[in-house]
Structure 1
């Protein structure tokens, strides 16, 4: 039973850790403000010691089939997957991505660059890890105006700044709770089976024990 208790505690810590990471990833996006012609850094970091297999920087108001802001795979940037408006304007802040730094620098920004940017990281590990982080970029003109239709809200035409995927955070929490219940039930069944096997084994051993 001691082994079962240890397994239960380890599993509980893993599930709670994964759920917490998912909730943190769904926190409010970073806010970045710039003026036309400036260079900006969109920050993103992978907190894992495993190698990054794929990195996708996208803008939420652009369709994936139209191209990415920045796309990295097979240990190098893939410019042929970039949206035409970002080609030649986006590069990794640290080409070696030391410490999981996958931030990118967007050069010579314009009013049309205002919007919400998403960083998605796929990490090669025993369990596939998918990390998402958001950044809201607002480009103001010299007279304080912004691109018509964005209202400085990361590409939202209504000028609202909704929370980041609240349904995702709730879904992750529910999934973590359900997963924990399934694991606990499985461990209980397993431990009962182990106990039953031991109790059945003792009478047999006693029957064969010489008097």
Structure 2
């Protein structure tokens, strides 16, 4: 492998790492999703991973609960692990899409109560050449049956089924940046490759001329 080829590979590897890091930062840097519902309803807590990746582990937790007490939802080895769940969530949480198509790792929390209000964190571990750890937050507000908001919650609104309307802003930003940087990778790789070919030709050409010069 020539020096220019090695340099091209190094540039490509570096830019791929930058792509992954930028995507993760964009996803983590987004504002929490806001969800609201009434006691007794089922509510969806949204979370999405980049599509096309193999999810190694999925952890749903609540920020005010201790990790050693258990998770809201825990997924590993291609199936939910109920023995890791907090007692108050056992039998009440399931994946919205068990096949997680398109990176959909949202969960449905059934028969909610006022005690379910809080901030939920979705943590996704992805298998790839580099380990990727993505975290997203969701604020759940449970209104009392008379319409009053439980003290200590922010009263954020959403769809009747509990999910905030619109798209996932962090994911949109991340994918947009990912696309832009991918274009940079392609352009830089082509430029480096073309320069390498030109450099090799220029190095070989004088040798060829010298060999055919009359003595």
**TM-score for both structures, normalised by structure 2:** 0.67
| Per-residue deviation, 1:19 | 2.0
3-state SS of 1:196 partner = helix
> Contact (CA 8 Å) 1:44, 1:133: kept in 2 or not?
yes
> Contact (CA 8 Å) 2:120, 2:139: kept in 1 or not?
yes
Partners in 1 of 2:90 and 2:210 — Cα distance? 78
How many pairs does the alignment contain?
A: 211
Change (3 A) 1:171 1:158: same
Change (3 A) 1:181 1:80: same
Considering Cα pairs closer than 8 Å and 6+ residues apart, tell me whether 1 or 2 has the greater RCO. Answer: 2
Partners in 2 of 1:62 and 1:72 — Cα distance? 18
> Contact (CA 8 Å) 1:4, 1:191: kept in 2 or not?
no
> Contact (CA 8 Å) 1:39, 1:109: kept in 2 or not?
yes
| Per-residue deviation, 1:82 | 0.4
Change (3 A) 1:151 1:175: same
**Larger deviation, residues 118-127 vs 15-24:** 15-24
Change (3 A) 1:14 1:59: same
Could you list the per-position Cα deviations for residues 114-168 of structure 1 after superposition, in whole angstroms to 9, with x for gaps in the alignment? 0111111111111111111111100001222233344548999999999999999
In structure 2, the gaps of 5 or more residues are none
> Contact (CA 8 Å) 1:153, 1:160: kept in 2 or not?
no
1:94 aligned partner:
97
Given candidates 35, 43, 48, the residue that maps to 1:45 is: 48
> Contact (CA 8 Å) 2:24, 2:174: kept in 1 or not?
no
| Per-residue deviation, 1:101 | 1.1
2:212 aligned partner:
208
Could you list the per-position Cα deviations for residues 176-196 of structure 1 after superposition, in whole angstroms to 9, with x for gaps in the alignment? 999999999999999999999
**TM-score for both structures, normalised by structure 1:** 0.68
> Contact (CA 8 Å) 2:12, 2:189: kept in 1 or not?
no
Partners in 1 of 2:12 and 2:30 — Cα distance? 27
